[in-house]
Structures are given as C-alpha cells and as structure tokens.
Structure 1
Amino acid sequence: MGKAIGFLLFGVAGGLGLDLCAKALLVNYSLSQFIFLRSTFGLLILLSVARWYGGYGNLRTRNWHWHLLRTLLSCGAMFGFFYGLSRMPLVNALTIAFTAPLMVTAMSVPFLGEQVGWRRWLAVIVGFAGVLLVLRPGSGLVTPASLAVLFAATCYAGLAITARRMAAEESSFALSVYVMSGPLLMSGLLLQENYATPDASGWLLFVLAGACSACAWIGIVGGYRRAPPVVLAPFEYTALIGAAIAGYWIWNEVPDNWVIAGGAVIIGSGLYVVHREVGGGAPVRYLRALTASASATVMRRVRRSESPGDQAPGPDV
C-alpha cells in the first residue's frame, strides 16, 4: 500500500509541474504546439529509460484495442484540460478536474467489479455537490473552458480504470508510452501553421513539461497497478493544495470563497472514501500530515491578500 501511494504522489508532483509549465507556455504558444512538443519530449524521455522497465520488448502487446481506447481517452484528457487551463485560474481548473477521482471510484464498480458501499457512494455524491459549488450554475462560470475540463476529467478517469484493468497483462512502460502516442499524432496533424519557434526559456519549459509528463505517467500508472482506485484516488487531491499555492505565488490568483468551499467538500469526500476503505489507518494520517501545513499557508496568504491596501484581483476566467 505504501509503495503504491508513493508512486501516485510522485506522479501527482509531476502532473502539477506539467500544469505550471503549460499555463506559462500557453500564453505565447498554441495548444497544438504545446501538446506536440510536450508529448515529443515526454516520449523521448520515456524511451530513453526503457532499460529500467525491461527494454523495448515490453512494448509488445496483444491488447491493441485497449491501447487504442486509451490513446483516444488521452487525447480527450489532454486537449480538454489544457484548453481549459489556458483560460481559467489554475486552482479553479484543477478543482473541476478533481471530479476524476470521484468518477474513478464510481466507475470501479461496473468496470472492475470492486465493492463500494453506500457510504462511499454518498461521499461521491457530496463530492460532485462540491463541484457545483465551484461552478455555481447561472453565475457565468459554466463556460466552454470549464466544460472542457469536466470532459477531460471523464477521460482521465477512463485512463485510470483501464490502467487497472490491464495491469496484469501490460507493463507500466507500455501503458505510459502508448498513451502518449495518440496526443502526439493528433497534435502533429493540427500543428500546421500554429507553430512558433520557441526562445531559450520556451525550449526549457517545453523540455521540463515533457520530463514532468513522463514522471506523471510513470507515477500514476505505477500507483494504480499496485492498489485499488478507491484507495489511491483521494491522494491525488494533494495537487489541489499545490495548485492553490503556486497560483497565488506565480500569477497572484486567489480562489474565492466558493472555490475554497467546493474544494474543501471535494477533498473531504475523498478523505471519507479512504477512511471507509482502510478504517482511518495510516494512509489517512499520512495525507493529513502532508496537506496540513500547505493548507495553513494558503489560508494565511488569502487572509493577507484580503487585508486593506493589499487586495488581490479576482480570478479572470
């Protein structure tokens, strides 16, 4: 269990690094160029460490239909999320994206045959209510960007479920490599005249985005190969804390009270799922220890930003 959680948290850190690079790059570069170069560098990095995962022979597979499904899901997840991220505050986009772990918990029943009791179902429903707090239908926040992120979350949940389903027959290396191939090909077809030659800092961020992408897939796939989704999914909420801190420090984005409340409901629902699964044991205490100091930092910064003379601008959705 501990090793699976460690893998997942490594993947979450890589994913957050990728999101930070993406938000910076998408200001000056097109979505198709970002995904193309990010996928290219990520794939090259994965292929360069093939020997760590048994060599290129581990790419042999008989499950082409499943890999094709996963590449399509990866395209939906990547294009949808980064489109939304380029038009929303970081923490808002990630809060909506975290419907994915709730979807994983729900989808693990029909697709994996795992048992989820009524209390965990109730936690999933409450979590989705938290998403409604963030979006507040009728407030103008239900935009193409937010719907794109919600679609991406659905695709991401499908990736997590299929990774678990294929774990007995496929290596982590094959699952990671093939899932990057689809977005690479699709973005290449869309690139055409949307390409702008990056400057030195741009190249650095593109390479870093590729490295973070490789780390994210290795960590997430490695985690879901080792433990059921109902245990691991809530640990992905640690990225929400990191996003709130990074959004404030880098872009001066301060989540409003509704986003904070909705995020708290989503995280609370996820923690309850873990509590029901493992009986409130070590994993829950570990997650609480990991997020407590970061949560306190966010709240201190928010209170400071709301003090007279230091009012931060509201989110620009």
Structure 2
Amino acid sequence: MRTALINSNVLGILAAIGAAVAFSVIDVTFKFLSDDYPLYQVVFFRSVVALALLLAIIIPLEGGYRILRTRNTRLHLMRIAAVAFANISFFSGLAVLPLAEAVAIAFATPLIVTILSVLFLKERVGPWRWGAVIVGFSGILVIVKPGMDAFQPYALLPFFGSCGYATLHILTRRAGGSDKAATLSFYPTLGFLIISALAGLIFGHGNWATGAPLTDVVLKPWAWPEGFEWGIFAIAGVSGAIGGYLVGQAYRMCEAGLVAPFEYIAMPLAVVWGVLVFAEWPDQSVWLGSALIIGAGLVSLWRETRTPGPPPRPRPRSSG
C-alpha cells in the first residue's frame, strides 16, 4: 500500500513536470505569434490540433470513446469557464505589462491552489509543502525582481488569471475521482474550440479593433498563417494536447497541495527557452532563483517518497 502510494505520487509529480514543459512550449509559440495573430486564432488552431490528437491517439489508448461519458457535466462546464477566464485575463495583462512582471504575478497560482485545496478539498498541507510553495515563490521574485510598476491596476489581470487557473486545478482534482485524464483534457479543449470559433466569427473581420494593445489581443482581425508559422501553430496544438493530459493526470493522482509547487518549474524553463530561442542569457539572480525553484520541487519530491500520507479523494457529485 505504501509503495503503491509513493509510486502514484511520484508519477503524478512527473506528470506535473511534463505539463510544465509542454505549457512552456505554448508560451514560446504565443510569443512568436501574438504580434500578428489574435488570441482567439492561436487558441482555435491549438484546439483543433489538440482535439485531433486526443480523439485519434490519447483517448483510444486510455480506454476508448466511452470514457467521455461523465457524471460531472457541471464541473466540466465550470472548468471550461475557469480556464477561458484565466487565458483571457493573463494574455490581456501580458499585452500591457512587462513579461517578467506579468509572469511573476501569474505565479501566484500554486499558492492559491494550496490555499483552495485546504478550504474546499479539505486536504492537509503540512509545513514541508507550505515551505516548498513559499521557497518556490521566493525564487520567482528573485528572478523577476518586480518593481513598483507591477502594482498598477493592469497587474490585476494576470492575478485574476492565476485565480482562474487555480480554480481550474481545484475543479480538476474534484472531477478526477471518477474521470480519466483524457476526459479531463477533452472538455476544456472542446470548450476552447467552440469559444475561439465564436470569437473568430464575431471579431475576425477586424471591425472591432481599436488600436489599443489591451483590447486588440482579442479584437485583432483573423490573418491566415504563412510558411513556417503553420508549424508553430501545430507545435502549440501538440503541446496543448500533451500538457492538458498531463496536468489532468497530475491533479487526479496527487493532492493539489503537492502538485502545485512543481508549476514553478515553468520559470526556469522560460530561462532555458530565452537562451536557446531568443539568445537572452540570464544574470546571476536568474540562476539563484532557478536554484530555489528546482530545489523546492526536489525537496518536496524527496519528502513525499519518505513520508507519504493517504491522499483524500473527494467524491464527485453527479451533476449531469
């Protein structure tokens, strides 16, 4: 029993790390595409590719299309609303704030997840997990060194985004008691496809564009990709399918308070992408912050393999 629990938690943590890698790839693709394409178009193409992969490969491997039947319809609708709100909020803030400061504010997500897991899932979060969250967040602050400019009204946008992502993770943990990871990934992806298609129909002609960066993240006209940009859209879609599946697997296998600190790994990954893709070599503060982030995750993983406790599995309520 103890060994099985350790294996489950370790596999869930590895899934969370894999999801962080996949989502960091999505961030890179968005950086490439956001100047020329509206958010709804990036999301639309990403959703088409991700949904195709889910339906053709991932769902058949996890049990077939019967796993899409769910008793948690209301929870999945709430998850779709939460992740849509999170994306719009974060990327709108990203358009008007410096990247580092927007990311720093958005990384409040793991802390919010840990708090919500105590309040709504009744999970027990001990000092080691709280310490991992706090040390990881300290690493983020060391890296980005947010100044007073981060606390302007626009800074509320990525914070609202972090609240949306945290809500998504808590709902995923709630639904994960009976639904497969592929099911947890399928419904938000389908929701993204429908919402982005509707946004394209409404805003695609460009008549709503204002010239203001904050609003034109959504209101820019549709533009057909050219050349290698098709490949970037495809990479975003593949990463979305993998990341969505892995994050669902992580939150259904492990307590939310355990998984949350490993989301901080996305920040050192951003450093790696900056070096490899944009030739942005980090300074000493970035290396120090990355060491704190990775160290917090490794200590949390070590602690979990030493003294695991039975994770409470909330029973999903039938709402469909």
The answer to whether the Cα contact below 8 Å between 2:265 and 2:293 also exists between their aligned partners in 1 is: no
Q: Shift in Å at residue 150 of structure 1?
A: 2.2
Residues 186-206 of structure 1 deviation map (CA, whole Å, 9 limit, x = unaligned): 222222322101102111111
Alignment partner, residue 121 of structure 2:
112
Alpha-carbon distance in structure 2 between the residues aligned to 1:276 and 1:7: 18
Alignment partner, residue 290 of structure 1:
none
- Return the match for 2:28 from 9, 20, 29: 20
Q: Shift in Å at residue 16 of structure 1?
A: 1.2
* TM-score, structure 2 as length reference: 0.75
The percent identity for this pair of structures is: 37
Q: Superposed, which structure 2 residues align to 1:155-170 within 5 Å? A: 155-170=164-179
- Return the match for 1:42 from 39, 42, 50: 50
| Amino acid paired to 2:16 | L
Q: Shift in Å at residue 97 of structure 1?
A: 2.8
Alignment partner, residue 221 of structure 1:
248
Alignment partner, residue 74 of structure 1:
83
Q: Shift in Å at residue 218 of structure 1?
A: 1.0
Alignment partner, residue 231 of structure 1:
258
1:202 aligned to 2:229?
A: yes
The 3-state SS of whatever aligns with 1:206 is: helix
Alpha-carbon distance in structure 2 between the residues aligned to 1:259 and 1:150: 22
Alpha-carbon distance in structure 1 between the residues aligned to 2:140 and 2:14: 27
The answer to whether the Cα contact below 8 Å between 2:44 and 2:197 also exists between their aligned partners in 1 is: yes
Alpha-carbon distance in structure 2 between the residues aligned to 1:216 and 1:81: 18
Change (3 A) 1:95 1:141: closer
Q: Shift in Å at residue 227 of structure 1?
A: 1.5
User: Aligned residues, how many?
Assistant: 280
1:3 aligned to 2:11?
A: yes
The answer to whether the Cα contact below 8 Å between 1:91 and 1:240 also exists between their aligned partners in 2 is: no
Change (3 A) 1:172 1:78: same
Alpha-carbon distance in structure 2 between the residues aligned to 1:148 and 1:257: 29
* TM-score, structure 1 as length reference: 0.75
Q: Superposed, which structure 2 residues align to 1:144-293 within 5 Å? A: 146-191=155-200, 192=203, 193=205, 194-253=221-280
The answer to whether the Cα contact below 8 Å between 2:118 and 2:125 also exists between their aligned partners in 1 is: yes
The 3-state SS of whatever aligns with 1:157 is: helix
- Return the match for 1:97 from 106, 125, 131: 106
Q: Shift in Å at residue 79 of structure 1?
A: 2.2
Alpha-carbon distance in structure 2 between the residues aligned to 1:85 and 1:262: 21
| Amino acid paired to 2:45 | L
| Amino acid paired to 2:225 | P
Alpha-carbon distance in structure 2 between the residues aligned to 1:61 and 1:53: 15
Change (3 A) 1:188 1:142: farther
Q: Shift in Å at residue 23 of structure 1?
A: 0.9
Q: Shift in Å at residue 231 of structure 1?
A: 2.1
| Amino acid paired to 1:44 | A
The unaligned stretches of length 5 or more in structure 2 are 1-6, 206-220, 309-320
Q: What CA RMSD, in Å, does the superposition of the two structures yield over aligned residues?
A: 3.1
Residues 59-80 of structure 1 deviation map (CA, whole Å, 9 limit, x = unaligned): 1122111011000011022223
| Amino acid paired to 2:192 | P
The answer to whether the Cα contact below 8 Å between 2:108 and 2:162 also exists between their aligned partners in 1 is: yes
Q: Shift in Å at residue 107 of structure 1?
A: 1.1
Q: Shift in Å at residue 136 of structure 1?
A: 4.0
The answer to whether the Cα contact below 8 Å between 1:135 and 1:142 also exists between their aligned partners in 2 is: no
| Amino acid paired to 1:55 | G
Q: Shift in Å at residue 94 of structure 1?
A: 3.9
| Amino acid paired to 2:61 | W
Change (3 A) 1:266 1:98: farther
Q: Shift in Å at residue 217 of structure 1?
A: 0.8
Alpha-carbon distance in structure 1 between the residues aligned to 2:137 and 2:16: 23
Change (3 A) 1:66 1:149: same
Alpha-carbon distance in structure 1 between the residues aligned to 2:305 and 2:152: 38
The 3-state SS of whatever aligns with 2:150 is: coil
